[in-house]
Amino acid sequence: MALVTVGRAQLHPQCQKIDAVLLADLLEAASKMAESFCNRSFTAADFAEVRDGNGLVEMAVCNPPINTLTSVVLLLNDESTETLLTAEFRFDSESGLVQPIPTSTMSSVNGVGSRCFPYGFKNITFNYNGGYATIPDDLQEAVIQIAVALNAMRSLNSYNDPGMVSETLGDYSYKRGEVFNALDGLTLEILSSYRI
């Protein structure tokens, strides 16, 4: 699903002359590229995220902000599981950081008074709803800029092709870079601020 509507993108001067069907495809591709670049999903959804325990007092989920934390499931050494209530954790919604509150459950797993997530391989599952119900404006603008760059890269005219890296004439050669090379610094800065 595109992170930006065609209607919103058509308000952008560089998108006004792009056919609506093509623009929808460009926005879809640009949205996927932004999520891939940032290593996360942006649209609010339910996640069951399996992670390696790190022995630290906090762990970050991969798709913040956290809207709701449903449960945390620990895979114990004997391969049994223990589902911990959300009341046993505190979390920072925006950053996605989750911390256990000292409880008898965590203490029984880690030792008396421990507040750390236990070390282990794929031994912790965070069940939560994360992502944005409304995509932030700056992120929408970055996706529009990616769509504009993708549209420009479609052009066969090298003078309008920001993705062109090089071109030769004898035994013709044409080399394209990736779309992120064609983006301005502000767009990359916006995307980097959401990167996990």
Tell which of 95, 130, 165 closes a domain.
Answer: 130
Whether the pTM exceeds 0.85: the reply is no
- Residue 140 belongs to a domain: yes
Q: What is the pLDDT of residues 70-120, one digit of tens each?
A: 999 999 888 899 898 888 899 999 999 999 887 656 656 655 456 788 889
14 part of a folded domain: yes
CB atoms closer than 10 angstroms to residue 113? 8
Angle between helices 137-154 and 185-193 (to 10 degrees): 130
Same domain assignment for residues 73 and 88: yes
Boundary-marking domain end, from 80, 107, 130: 130
Residue 1 located in a structural domain: no
Q: Quote the domain boundaries for residue 87.
A: 45-130
Instruction: Give the helix/strand (H/E) hosting 74.
Output: strand 66-75
> Quick one: 19 and 81 in the same domain?
no
Residue 181 lies in a domain: yes
Angle between helices 185-193 and 20-38 (to 10 degrees): 60
pLDDT in tens, the chain (196 residues): 899 999 999 999 999 999 999 999 999 999 999 999 999 999 999 999 999 998 888 999 999 999 999 999 999 888 899 898 888 899 999 999 999 887 656 656 655 456 788 889 999 999 999 999 999 999 999 999 999 988 887 764 445 555 555 666 777 766 555 556 667 788 888 999 999 8
Residues 6+ apart with CB under 8 A from 139: 3, 34, 42, 132, 190, 191, 194
Answer yes or no: do 164 and 146 share one domain.
yes
Omega of the bond leading into 65 within 30 degrees of 0 (cis): yes
Q: How many domains does the chain have?
A: 2
Which residue among 106, 130, 154 closes a domain? 130
Question: Is the same domain home to 153 and 176?
Answer: yes
Is residue 84, in this structure, part of any structural domain at all?
A: yes
173 DSSP 8-state letter? E
Q: For residues 169 and 167, what is the distance between their CA atoms, to the nearest angstrom?
A: 7
- pLDDT value of position 41: 95
12 domain-assigned:
yes
Tell me whether residue 116 is in a domain: yes
Same domain, 116 and 182: no
Q: What is the model's pLDDT at position 118?
A: 87
Residues 138 and 95 in one domain: no
Q: Is the CB of residue 194 less than 8 Å from the CB of residue 146?
A: no
